[in-house]
Structure formats: structure tokens, C-alpha cells
């Protein structure tokens, strides 16, 4: 049994990469010292922040996204349209069965909350997906060109 465990650990170490260690999403680029220095010039962290920078390219342009690692922010993650369609179904159910004044909580929408989900007349309503996300599911307002 020990040999299997050692072999498994060795195999994982052999394929490990910065992307795996950091848990990068498809399309994200692992940070380098140069990228991090440029990111701090592009989006300077506030005092006492624990900056969490994310990087990707789009149309040949390097982009950076930032949130304070101390807070509750995950706006640098992808929210594909397939996820939003699943959220829409759950939100519709909430609106139909939640009674008057039903709300769609952040716990249900996650970062798709930027679509301004609401219950109107017992049905779910929200902004169009393309107004807040690009075709790959990245939040448009959160990514800035890296300087």
C-alpha cells in the first residue's frame, strides 16, 4: 500500500505546475514576478490589502484582474453561459415558489449576481449576459489591460 501512495505522490509531483498549484482556470496565465510588478502598477492595492492578481490574454492583449484576497471577491473567475442558464432555472423556481417579495440570494447566483437578478411578477428577470460577460464567461468590468 505504501508503494501505491508513494507512486501516486511522485506522479502528481511530476505533473505539477504553477497553474495546478494556484488552481488556475482554463485561459488563465500563471503569475510571474514581472506580471505581478506590472499588475501593481496597473491596479495598485490599497493599504492592508492582500492582493490576488489574475492574468489572461484576449485578442493578443494581456489583461489583469484584481481582488483583495482578504475579502469575499471572486470576480476574476469565469461564469460561463451554461452556468448562468442553470442559475436561471434555480432563480425562476425561487421566484415562482417564493411568494410575494421573493429574492434571489447571492448564495444561488454566485458572481452572476452582477446580472441583477430579481423576481418580477413571480418570474425571474435579469440583465442580458453579454452586457456583463464576454463570450468565454469573464466579467467585462473586472479585467483591465496590463500596463
How far is Cα 30 from Cα 140, in angstroms, rounded to an integer?
A: 20
Give pLDDT, residue 22. 53
Give pLDDT, residue 71. 65
As a whole-number percent, the residues of the chain with pLDDT over 90 amount to: 63
Evaluate if pTM is beyond 0.85: no
How far is Cα 9 from Cα 59, in angstroms, rounded to an integer?
A: 38
Give pLDDT, residue 50. 85
The domain segmentation of the chain, as residue ranges, is 23-147
Q: How many CB atoms lie within 10 A of CB 75?
A: 17
Give pLDDT, residue 124. 96
CA dihedral 16, 21, 24, 29 (to 10 degrees): -70
Per-residue pLDDT of the chain (147 residues; tens, 9 = 90+): 444 333 333 333 333 333 334 578 888 999 999 999 999 999 998 888 888 899 999 989 999 999 887 666 668 889 999 999 999 999 999 999 998 889 999 999 999 999 999 999 999 999 999 999 999 999 999 999 998
Per-residue model confidence as pLDDT tens digits over 79-104: 999 999 999 999 999 999 998 889 99
Amino acid at each position: 500500500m505504501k508503494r501505491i501512495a508513494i507512486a501516486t505522490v511522485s506522479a502528481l509531483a511530476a505533473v505539477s505546475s504553477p497553474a495546478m498549484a494556484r488552481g488556475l482556470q482554463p485561459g488563465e496565465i500563471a503569475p510571474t514576478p514581472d506580471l505581478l510588478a506590472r499588475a501593481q502598477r496597473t491596479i495598485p492595492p490599497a493599504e492592508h490589502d492582500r492582493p490576488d492578481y489574475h492574468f489572461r490574454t484576449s485578442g493578443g492583449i494581456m489583461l489583469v484582474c484584481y481582488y483583495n484576497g482578504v475579502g469575499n471577491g471572486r470576480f476574476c473567475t469565469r461564469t460561463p453561459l451554461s452556468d448562468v442558464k442553470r442559475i436561471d432555472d434555480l432563480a425562476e423556481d425561487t421566484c415562482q415558489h417564493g411568494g410575494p417579495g421573493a429574492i434571489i440570494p447571492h448564495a444561488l447566483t454566485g458572481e452572476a449576481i452582477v446580472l441583477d437578478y430579481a423576481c418580477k411578477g413571480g418570474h425571474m428577470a435579469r440583465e442580458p449576459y453579454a452586457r456583463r460577460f464576454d463570450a468565454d464567461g469573464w466579467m467585462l468590468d473586472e479585467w483591465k489591460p496590463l500596463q
